[in-house]
Amino acid sequence: MKRILIIIAGIIFIGSVTSFVRIQANGKVVPDAKAAIKIALDKWTLIYGAKQIESEKPYKAELEGGSVWFVHGTLQEGWNGGTTEMRIRKSDGKILSITHGQ
């Protein structure tokens, strides 16, 4: 009897962990341009600093091939150089690349 209760408890535990993992994975989907820009801003600010990133407004996000968000800043008129760019996989939010043009 004790052994059966342990097996049942194990099955319930495994089922709840599986549900939790599914919820977490779904939470990482990047559903729209606004979410993609937020992810990019958070990472860019850590890497390049708030002052640099602020100077590259407005930010744009475009969905490439239905699966990868391409997020980039805007080079101000009359300025030389480049802007930050990031590619983020839509399905799980994985950052595929981060670059800054020169």
Closest to 90 (Cα-Cα) out of 19, 23, 22, 39: 39
- Using alpha carbons, list the distances in angstroms from residue 96 to 13, 68, 78: 34, 9, 30
Residue 49: per-residue pLDDT: 95
Whether 59 and 44 map to the same domain: the answer is yes
Beta strands in the chain, from DSSP E residues, in sequence order: 60-64, 68-72, 84-89, 95-100
Residues 45 and 64 in one domain: yes
Tokens at residue 62, please? 């475009």
What global pTM score does this model have? 0.71
What average pLDDT does the structure give for the chain?
A: 81
95 pLDDT exceeds 70?
Answer: yes
What confidence score (pLDDT) does residue 19 get?
Answer: 35
How buried is residue 86: exposed, middle or buried, by Cβ count under 10 Å (0-12/13-18/19+)? buried
Residues of the chain above pLDDT 90, percent: 62
Nearest to 40 by CA among 95, 3, 89: 95
Domain total for the chain?
2
- Integer Cα distance of 95 and 40 in angstroms: 9
What is the span of the domain harbouring residue 63? 31-100
Q: In terms of domains, do 36 and 24 share one?
A: no
73-83 residue pLDDT tens: 999 888 888 89
Claim to verify: residue 54 and residue 88 sit in the same structural domain: yes
Is 18 in the same domain as 35? Answer: no
pLDDT bin (cut points 50, 70, 90) of residue 3 is low
pLDDT, one tens digit per residue, over 48-80 is 999 999 999 999 999 999 999 999 999 988 888
